[in-house]
Amino acid sequence: MSSDKNAPAGAYRAPPPHALADCPLHAAFRAVGGKWKLTILYWMAREPNHFSGLQRRVAPISHKVLTQQLRELEDDGLVERLVSGPVPAPVYYRLSAYGETVLPLVEQARQWGQRHLARTRGTSTTTTSSLACSA
């Protein structure tokens, strides 16, 4: 790229469209993929949570990363941020109606993970209630 501030119009090409822009799997992974999002959604399925409550449940997530993940989930319409009064008001996070549509995926991932742990560790699995992680 040239440092010439008076470059002619059209001197720089626009980036090509993303190759997977129309792929449903890509869209799903962008919305709920990553290290923390499914775990955050799992805990939010149980009840609305304060930020600090989520941080305790999803530990060892950092403050910065939890903030980023919650903002992305909120931007995708999966999570609602509820301010319950004037500043400094407690802020609650809960699943939106649209966010509840992802719960079957969360439960399937939990069940698969349980079977995977049993397979890789050589232990038997005991199925607990829906959306329940055993410690």
Q: Can you point out the beta strands (E) in the chain?
A: 49-50, 79-83, 91-95
Domains and CATH numbers, the chain: 24-121 (1.10.10.10)
92 vs 36, 43, 46, 84, 124, CA distance in Å? 18, 13, 13, 8, 37
In tens digits, what is the pLDDT along the chain, a chain of 135 residues?
Answer: 555 567 666 667 777 777 777 889 888 988 999 899 999 999 999 999 999 999 999 989 999 999 999 999 999 999 999 988 787 888 999 999 999 999 999 999 999 999 999 999 887 656 554 444 543
Please give the pLDDT value at position 3.
58
Please, are residues 42 and 88 in contact by the beta-carbon 8 Å criterion? no
Neighbours of 55 (CB within 10 A): 17
Q: Taking the CB of residue 124, how many other CB atoms lie within 10 A of it? A: 6
pLDDT of residue 131: 46
What is the predicted pLDDT for the residue at 53?
92
Whole-structure pTM value: 0.76
* pLDDT at 4 (0 to 100): 57
Query: Structure tokens of 20?
Result: 């997977």
- For residue 32 the two structure tokens come to 């709920």
Residue 7, helix vs strand vs coil: coil
Paired residues of 102 in beta bridges: none
CA 22 to chain centre: 20
Q: What was the pLDDT predicted at 129?
A: 46
Amino acid 75: pLDDT: 95
